[in-house]
Amino acid sequence: MPDAPKSPSFWKRIVAGALLIVLASAAGSAALAFNELDKLVAALGTGPTLDLGDELALAGSDQPQTIMLLGSDERAESVKNANPGAYGEPRSDTVILVRLDPEKGATALMSLPRDLKVQIPGHGTDRLNAAYEIGGPRLTLETVKQFTGLRINHVVNVDFGGFTEIVDRLGCVYTDVDRSYFSSGIEFAYINLHAGYQRLCGADALSFVRFRHTDNDLVRGARQQEFLRQAKEQFTFGELVSDRNQLLRIFGEHTQSDIDTREETLSLVKLLIESGSLPVREVHFEGTIGESFVTASNEQVKELAQEFLGVQDTAGPRGGETATTGGDEDKKKQDGDDEPTLEDSTIDGQSQAQQVEAEGVDMPIFYPTQKVLGASFTEAPSAYSVPVEGEKEDARAYRIVVSTGVLGEYYGIQGLEWTNPPILEDPTETRTIDGTDYDLHYDGDRLRLVSWESNKAVYWVSNTLLQSLSEEEMLAIASSAKEL
């Protein structure tokens, strides 16, 4: 007997689920979500339909499409009804564009800063996130179209309540926290996290990805991308399917999309499937960070749009002013053609290791004897314990934090008695330096992490959130590590 026809809601769930996974893959691993699309069907749901009028572009069944993904602090109706008058107008903290064009051989992602200076149709100059506060997804769509000149085919909107519930429901996320984060909650949202690899649950995870008070908008975007990349690596499709009833409830309450016909859904599903095995290209937003806005020239915007439509990734760090200056020295550093700019850190590094030892960490303690020129150890090291999946006892750990001297940019040296944490799975390659094997983990053209092991623990050097350290610098810092 042939299969019964699938209802529109069934097909709608496929697309909503796939696009939500793309939203959670802004760090460059969206293709993983597409690989087994059929396994997402039973696990993910959809919410109310967005009314966007005629702002969306129509695309034929065989044409490429652009999807705008929004992450907002809009509360679910149940929350607003229980607390009438308690919340102001919702704002959008995340705007990500996804380009599905299988003929280009890749999927492109481009994040737009929330503080981006834009012209909001009918409302003058303001930050991009103000468009959502004034006119919701529809005005945000109009603003992004006008700013980028791009045609957009679909919009998916997810609120932060959904983010928190999903993280908790899936059992929290092991996260490589680059430095300590603290806010008393008086002026800004409360957060109190130590540096180092640790397990973050809903409220802490949300505070971590939204934090923005002592760095800038581009660093904040990179932090979101890094968290979501690590989250994607830790959950299998089987786990999603096994918890499908609760996930359906969460996504139904916290997700909105314009997709409401079987025809357009099938067209998009076809693109998703064809894009399944393709790599992801991250188009890094390039602009100038000012006191109030992130700005970009017309020429920069045109170039970004061309890279996005051409599905071309951008070399070097994840955006920022360094990537836009265009100077010869910057280009040499990004291309890795210059010698590492390092200096001795033996005395300060040893002091950091001794502080870790004083905290009772009973494992070999490695510290860096080389650091980036001008960098400094700006905070005391973290000595702590990490809960291990499937084990009764926690693993001891430590983290040494180094500030590069550039706002919001920190790299770190991690030690952990848990010898196979998720972050170290599937290295890109292994390289032997002076008799020691180092696992190298790349993100595009940048070396994200270098790890090695002793007879009792594993260790790694993490790049900054903007991945501003070159491959030569990362390898030199890792190979300079000395045991206390």
Assess whether 416 and 467 both reside in one domain.
yes
Per-residue H/E/C for 181-210: EEECCCCCCCEEECCEEEEECHHHHHHHHH
What is the rounded CA–CA span in Å between residue 437 and residue 460? 12
Mean of pLDDT values over 305-327 = 61
Identify whether 196 is part of a domain. no
Domain count, the chain: 2
For residue 197, the cross-strand partners are 176
Mean of pLDDT values over 30-45 = 38
| Strand ranges in 142-184 using DSSP code E only, listed in sequence order | 154-159, 173-177, 181-183
Assess whether 365 and 271 both reside in one domain.
no
What is the rounded CA–CA span in Å between residue 95 and residue 149? 15
pLDDT the model gives residue 364 = 95
pLDDT the model gives residue 48 = 63
List the one residue out of 127, 129, 123, 233 whose CA is nearest residue 176.
233
Assess whether 147 and 17 both reside in one domain.
yes
Last residue of a domain, one of 293, 322, 351: 322
- pLDDT over threshold 90, residue 313: no
Assess whether 288 and 391 both reside in one domain.
no
Identify whether 354 is part of a domain. yes
The answer to whether the Cα torsion of 334, 147, 34, 421 is positive or negative is: positive
List the one residue out of 383, 442, 390 whose CA is nearest residue 414.
383
Assess whether 248 and 393 both reside in one domain.
no
Identify whether 356 is part of a domain. yes
pLDDT the model gives residue 152 = 94
Domain that holds residue 251: 8-170+235-322
Assess whether 352 and 464 both reside in one domain.
yes
- pLDDT over threshold 60, residue 389: yes
Identify whether 266 is part of a domain. yes
Mean of pLDDT values over 237-260 = 62
pLDDT tens digits, one per residue of 75-106: 444 444 444 444 455 556 678 888 888 888 77
Assess whether 382 and 435 both reside in one domain.
yes
Last residue of a domain, one of 322, 357, 378: 322
Assess whether 155 and 50 both reside in one domain.
yes
List the one residue out of 64, 66, 166 whose CA is nearest residue 105.
64
- pLDDT over threshold 70, residue 451: yes
pLDDT tens digits, one per residue of 330-375: 433 444 455 658 999 999 999 999 999 999 998 999 999 999 999 9
Assess whether 284 and 349 both reside in one domain.
no
Name the pLDDT band for 203 (thresholds 50, 70, 90). confident
Assess whether 300 and 384 both reside in one domain.
no
Mean of pLDDT values over 169-178 = 89
pLDDT the model gives residue 81 = 47
> Rounded to 5 degrees, what are φ and ψ at 426?
55, 60
- pLDDT over threshold 80, residue 33: no
What is the rounded CA–CA span in Å between residue 211 and residue 424? 26
Q: What is the CATH number of the domain that holds 400?
A: 3.30.200.100
Identify whether 182 is part of a domain. no
Assess whether 161 and 73 both reside in one domain.
yes
Assess whether 314 and 376 both reside in one domain.
no
* Residue 255: both structure tokens together: 């997700």
List the one residue out of 52, 94, 44, 114 whose CA is nearest residue 254.
44
Q: Mean pLDDT, the chain, as a whole number?
A: 78
Q: What is the CATH number of the domain that holds 294?
A: 3.30.420.590
pLDDT tens digits, one per residue of 413-440: 999 999 999 999 889 999 999 999 999 9
Question: Percentage of the chain surpassing pLDDT 70?
Answer: 69
Last residue of a domain, one of 322, 352, 381: 322
Who's near 280: CB < 8 A, 6+ residues apart? 25, 28, 29, 30, 31, 106, 107, 108, 109
pLDDT the model gives residue 123 = 96
Please give the C-alpha separations between residue 340 and each of 18, 328, 343, 440, in angstroms, as whole numbers: 41, 15, 9, 17
Which of 80-94, 214-228, 320-334, 369-383 is modeled with the greatest confidence?
369-383
